Chain A
């Protein structure tokens, strides 16, 4: 069975500093991986996705993630945090029946 592990439940950064949200996956074959963001009282929005093309994936709002097969990781990064980035972030893997399996989420706080 496939799964994702988000290594940090909370991450706090200062505005203007880099963001790193960590995600490891487990998969018996080549997975599709996604990062979704959920702002308070809102639905989820896709940030980016990896579907076996380029390993460095660029998403919206300056976010990017790198698929590293050797490390089974798909960490989300952004060079400079903005106050509006404060939200819950979900790493997601697609299993062999095309179902999405969500991680437990990482809450990002951004301080001024």
Chain B
């Protein structure tokens, strides 16, 4: 158990809808990362927050947004969902801002299915 929790575990929704994925980092970790894992794109970094501020952006679509709250939990919002958004979404956390050397601790993931 990494100490990172994600809810829900599974999510099934329809095209055009909006969903929110939630992540609670390990106690004491200030950085939260979001990743998308799909069969065709592999594992891709989406976005990083550090202590409430956006720190780095990856291949995140404009339809997707995230935020990190004062209690350090984070939410990833996915809107106008398309079939291709079906994937496993991981959250990870680390103690500091420097992901180059930090160990990232991954949650179990949220499996999103868009029908």
Binding site for B on A (CB under 8 A): 32, 36, 42-46, 49, 51, 90, 94, 97-102, 104-105
Contact = CB atoms under 8 A, between A and B. Distances in A.
25 contacts: A43-B2, A43-B4, A43-B107, A43-B108, A43-B109, A46-B103, A46-B105, A49-B101, A49-B103, A94-B101, A97-B56, A98-B56, A98-B97, A98-B99, A99-B45, A99-B56, A100-B33, A100-B45, A101-B45, A102-B42, A102-B43, A102-B44, A102-B45, A104-B42, A105-B42
Given A43-B107, A43-B108, A43-B109, A32 B100 contact: yes
Categorize the interface residue count of chain B. Answer: 20 to 34
A98 B2 contact: no
Q: Is the interface of B mostly helix, strand, loop or mixed?
A: loop
Contacts of A36: 106
B104 A100 contact: yes
Given A98-B97, A98-B100, A100-B99, 19 more contacts: A43-B4, A43-B106, A43-B107, A44-B90, A44-B92, A44-B106, A46-B103, A46-B104, A49-B103, A51-B101, A94-B99, A94-B100, A97-B56, A98-B99, A99-B56, A99-B58, A100-B45, A104-B42, A105-B43
Nearest to B33: A100
A98 B98 contact: yes
Contacts, number: 50
Residue from B42, B43, B45, B109 whose CB has the most chain A CB atoms within 10 Å:
B43
> 6 closest A-B pairs (Cβ-Cβ)?
A43-B106, A102-B43, A94-B100, A44-B106, A98-B99, A51-B101
Contacts of A51: 100-101
A89 to B, nearest CB: 12
Interface in B38-80: 42-45, 48, 56, 58
Interface string B82-115: 0000000010100001111101111111000000
A44 B94 CA distance: 13
Nearest to A31: B100
Nearest to B45: A99
B110 to A, nearest CB: 11
